[in-house]
Chain A
Amino acid sequence: MLFYTLFLLVTTFSVFSLDENPAKGLLSMLNIILLIVPLVSIMFSTIYLYNSAEFIELLVSQPLKRKTIWLSLFIGLSASFSFSLLIGIGLPIIIFQPNAIGAMLIGIGIILSNVFIAIAMLSSVKTRDKAKGIGFAILVWLYFTILFDGLVLFFLFQFADYPLDKIMIIISSFNPIDLSRILILLQLDVSAMMGYTGAIFKDFFGTSSGMIISFSILMFWVFFPVFFSIRNFNKKDL
């Protein structure tokens, strides 16, 4: 965990010091948040949950509600990841970019961590086998960062003759990483590069109601996996 914090701290500092233009630095940071943060969150959480399986078993034999045990695990993981992110990315951003975009970057980083911790909890409660669980975690990360975009691109080319702009907004909400990327990019005023669709996005995500909706979709991405993992954990044989 300490290593993760240090890693984030060093990368953020170096990214900001490398480039004169802090906006470019923010873009590089965005990529780190969208790629590294989900990967570390989902991998670390899955491995941690499998390693503490026996300890969870011990807790279940004690007079504790299963829901309490599971939620405490989630809160513990979530708190330590959010804290690492606050120090690792928050500190340099306060120094180099103390503005709304910086704050939004940190906020999105924290939400994304929580989304992937939640998915890790669901995958580790679903599979008993450690190797399978970790494999599934990697696959989920790969799907959301790479495969999903490929599929969307394929879909776009297939149906290029139809107006897809509105549908694109809905599709992007199926991927928390995409949603976060769009939210940040629009703040950075590079949406002009995204052409007509960018304008539609700006129309939707740029408004405050659009932001609220997309943030609540991100929160759903945290809430649903946790909810289903609790339901599964309540029925699980240990």
Chain B
Amino acid sequence: MIIASNVTKKFGKLTALNNVSLTCNRGECIALVGPNGSGKTTIIKSILGMVVPDSGFITFNGNNILHDWHYRNHIGYMPQIGRYPDNMTIGDVIEMMKDIRSDAISLDDDLIVSFGIPDLYNKRMRTLSGGTRQKVSACLAFLFNPSVLILDEPTAGLDPVSSEIFKEKIISEKNKGKLILITSHVLSELDELVTQLVYMQDGQLLFHKTIDQLCFDTGEKKLTKAVASVMGQSKITSFGL
């Protein structure tokens, strides 16, 4: 569904993405894992067309995304830090998004209801806590029933109850056959969600494996430990041992 081929992006001297190739298909739930500054957010932004790669290309359903914008109708994006105009209320923001994506066929307001957002409709964005902002971003990402969900650090700042609701929502969407891309540092949370893992370091994609394969390779049962053992290895290799 999404294919990135040899994508390279440099910010000045820093190579944010170094020849990254990635294939994502329907029904997969992919975790993007890696240390800070490894290029996770950059690859997500390239898929969304917010960052234009220096070389390489990305296709969505077989079409190159360069200079295209219609494909974003099929993507729900939840940014790391959601920022909205301060003087708008939650209701305004949601209405505005509905207006922007007026050609969405069906709306999915499960999350709005289960997060209790309607009670907060008249609150201004500037008065919201970080967690509530995250909830609004999550609602907006799921609202238009997109076939691809891109979630950048989704559970950071959510309370345990909300984060549980959110995870159940992700699982139910995954079971509907949608493609879900998640970046997170909280690996224990990803454990029950993801089917595949992409590990990035220094702008390079080190591996892309299914969870079963990864657990088999490392001899660990838990995702947390499997990734920890991989990270340990890559640290050793980067020291040249």
Residues of chain A having any CB pair with chain B under 8 Å: 52, 54-55, 57-66, 235, 237-238
Contact = CB atoms under 8 A, between A and B. Distances in A.
Contact of B50 (A55, A61, A63, A65): A61
20 contacts: A54-B81, A54-B83, A55-B83, A57-B50, A57-B79, A58-B79, A58-B84, A59-B100, A60-B48, A61-B48, A61-B75, A61-B77, A61-B79, A62-B97, A62-B100, A63-B101, A66-B69, A237-B51, A237-B52, A238-B45
Contacts of B85: 52, 55
Interface of B is mostly: loop
B72 A61 contact: yes
A61 B97 CA distance: 12
Contacts of B71: 63
Interface residue tally of chain B, by bracket? 20 to 34
Contacts of A63: 69-73, 100-101
Interface string B65-97: 000011111010101011111000000000001
Contacts of A55: 83-85
B69 A64 contact: yes
Interface string B203-217: 000000000000000
Contact of B49 (A52, A54, A58, A60): A60
Contacts of A60: 48-50
A54 B86 CA distance: 11
Contacts of B79: 57-58, 61
Contacts of B45: 237-238
Chain B CB count within 10 A is highest, among A60, A63, A64, for A63
Nearest to B48: A61
Interface string B31-74: 00000000000000100111110000000000000000111110
Contacts of B70: 63
B180 to A, nearest CB: 16
B220 to A, nearest CB: 36
A58 B83 contact: yes
Contacts of A58: 79, 82-84
Nearest to A235: B52
Contact of B101 (A57, A62, A235): A62
A83 B129 CA distance: 35
A59 B51 CA distance: 14
A224 to B, nearest CB: 23
B22 to A, nearest CB: 19
Given A57-B79, A58-B83, A59-B100, 7 more contacts: A55-B83, A58-B82, A61-B48, A62-B100, A63-B73, A64-B100, A237-B52
